[in-house]
Amino acid sequence: MITIATLVLIINLCAGLQVTAQKVKKVQATAPWPTGEWRTSSPREQGLREDVISALVQRIRSRQIRDLDSLLIVRHGYLVTEEYFNGWGPERDHTLQSDTKSITSLLTGIAIQQGKIPGVEAKVLDFFPQYQPIRNLDARKAALRVQDLLTMRTGLNWSEDNYLASPLYQLNYCQCDWLRFVLDWPMREMPGTRFEYNSGGVILLGGLIREATGLNVNEFARQYLFTPLGITGGFWYVGQPNNLPHTGGGLNLRPRDMAKIGYLLLRNGRWEDQQIVSADWLRESMQHRIRYPRTFGFHPVDYGYLWWLLPLDGTGAAQGVEADIYTAAGAQDQWIFAIPKYDLVVVVTGSTSTTFAQPVDFLYSDILRAIDDRSITSVSAASYSDTALSPESIATAFGSNLATTNQGTAATTIPLPTSLAGTSVTVRDSFGVERSAPLFYVASNQINYQIPLGTATGLATITVTSGDGSISIGTRQIALVAPGLFSVEATGAGLAVAQVVRVKADGTQSYEPAFRYDHAQNRYVAEPIDLGPDLGLNTDQVVLILYGTGIRFRPALSAVSAQVGGETTRVDYAGAQCCLVGLDQVNVLLPRSLIGRGEVNVALVVEGQMANQVKINVK
């Protein structure tokens, strides 16, 4: 049982909600999947400044920014800007140029996912035995791997810097077997050595997909990528042999469909209830494999598996899902930008000839500047650590103007409400599913809420909507396990929110506090834990009960370990506590070797994740 003092303290920490059963109101779970068409919204409703976006559109229309054909912006799954220029419209397919390469990367991942391609270490020549003998064959060419095609480190003596004098120009106009053309081309160095942009290598990759799957790339893309996303149009430029699609730059799609590709990235390769591209493949594709091979304008850019990686901060000092802009870039200003941190997709198409990378400039100077989110930071309500949160755990969001009330308002009913004093919180997970969060407490600068059951792991977007309609947004990684322990100071450090259960030799139990309120000091202080005398077989067993959150989805009790005062001790239970929403408890046997130690640290590790350390006092 929980003593009154412990119960009151935990209730206070969770902002005053007393509950007697672990019930949570069934919450909304929706995802705006644009399989048919995009839902629309205004920029303002999705946290973008309309004046900045409108001014950008006007600069394009007045040709201050020249020769662009479309600009589309998608935020939180809603199409908030869709503008066409120079006679283009929403139903007209547009060349993607080298954006095609990035889509070919997705197709490669799907083929690997299906087991058709063994992996990125597979040797390229193994897929083309019918082309033997291959000209200029040596050990370097024999070593060419799928990964080398994906990273533009083919080792071929190939340059596209001067297109009219390039091998690509010859290939495009040779009316010959494109695969033979690339396979026979001479080598310059070992594959994997140096980045050299090579469209021919990606055309060869398209042929490899056909050899591995038995389907021409256009048909493979239609079945396994485009149809699930609701992309029903589009066309490819094809050549020899046998109408081979030009995977280096020959795809044409509507800009709306290009935006679906970007949205698929934001959703970790998942679309509705289907995993189209494995999340692992996307993670591998977005690794910074080549550092600064080029710049777009004056902006540094890295390279992954046929995807460019622009730095969100403009400098490249940070990397990762919250620091990167996933970018597909094609000649004449064809662009797909996917920005996980802001749940944002930007698509630009163009017909430029001398002004490549204008859209990169206005992405930084205008579109990112238009983001008008009040920022919030969400942390574990127990540890206050800047780490992941887990489903059903108790979280605290800090910000400003989160509620219209100056006085804090606590929930008084169960199931927990999803709107309190006009404020609501939604959690959109990495699959794009949006759920309303149960609320414990709201105030102008703090909200205590529960991460909804079913929230998928990965990057989640947390949105607070105040009673006056203002929106505050933050992101946080979601993990199945994110252990945190409550402390009486409500800081994640210091004295543990805990009690002990004393088990007598005859099986009777009694509960004792591990802290008390000292009115003279006006604060909580430790209540020294008495482990009792040594009575042999009749010695009391004293079990420490710790309270926390983010623990219940641990895979097995063996995944939980604890040390008290540096001594490893037995963990008897780690999981959901019976009576408070989102609260977990851990039962730890206190060894008698702690007698007389006084204040000691308690260290808990769950599934390799260390919780914040707290303290107890042993008499």
Element (H, E) at 376: none
Give me the pLDDT at residue 101, please: 98
- The neighbouring-strand residues paired with 275 are 270
Residue-wise pLDDT for 105-140, tens only, equals 999 999 999 999 999 999 999 999 999 999 999 999
Q: Of the candidates 211, 227, 253, which is a domain's last residue?
A: 253
Query: Residue 533: helix, strand or coil by DSSP?
Result: coil
Q: Of the candidates 198, 223, 253, which is a domain's last residue?
A: 253
Give me the pLDDT at residue 31, please: 56
The verdict on 452 and 517 lying in the same domain is no
The verdict on 121 and 243 lying in the same domain is yes
How confident is residue 238, by pLDDT bands cut at 50, 70 and 90?
very high
The verdict on 27 and 125 lying in the same domain is no
Please say if the pLDDT value at position 432 is more than 90: no
Element (H, E) at 615: strand 614-618
- Examine residue 1 and state whether it is found in any structural domain, yes or no: no
- Examine residue 49 and state whether it is found in any structural domain, yes or no: no
* Overall pTM > 0.75: no
Output the CA angle 221-95-309, nearest 5 degrees: 75
- Examine residue 289 and state whether it is found in any structural domain, yes or no: no
Peptide bond into 241 cis (omega under 30): yes
Residue reference for tokens 């238009």: 370
Distance CA 380, CA 478 (A): 11
- Examine residue 456 and state whether it is found in any structural domain, yes or no: yes
The verdict on 548 and 499 lying in the same domain is yes
What are the distances in angstroms from CA 205 to CA 346, 399, 436? 27, 49, 44
Distance CA 547, CA 336 (A): 46
The verdict on 521 and 491 lying in the same domain is yes
CB burial class (10 A; 0-12, 13-18, 19+) of residue 391?
A: buried
Give me the pLDDT at residue 484, please: 96
In 10 A of CB 590, how many CB atoms?
23
Residue reference for tokens 């004393």: 502
The verdict on 151 and 241 lying in the same domain is yes
Task: Tell me the residue range of the domain where 583 lies.
Answer: 485-618
Please say if the pLDDT value at position 287 is more than 60: yes
Please say if the pLDDT value at position 521 is more than 50: yes
Structure token digits, residue 412: 């008084």
Distance CA 368, CA 274 (A): 31
Distance CA 69, CA 357 (A): 14
Amino acid at 447: I
Number of domains in the chain: 3
By C-alpha distance, which of 422, 413, 377 is closest to 395? 377
- Examine residue 267 and state whether it is found in any structural domain, yes or no: no
Residue-wise pLDDT for 452-486, tens only, equals 999 999 999 999 999 988 889 888 999 999 999 99
- Examine residue 46 and state whether it is found in any structural domain, yes or no: no
Q: Are 591 and 568 in contact (CB under 8 A)?
A: no
CATH of the domain at 447: 2.60.40
The verdict on 243 and 178 lying in the same domain is yes
CATH of the domain at 144: 3.40.710.10
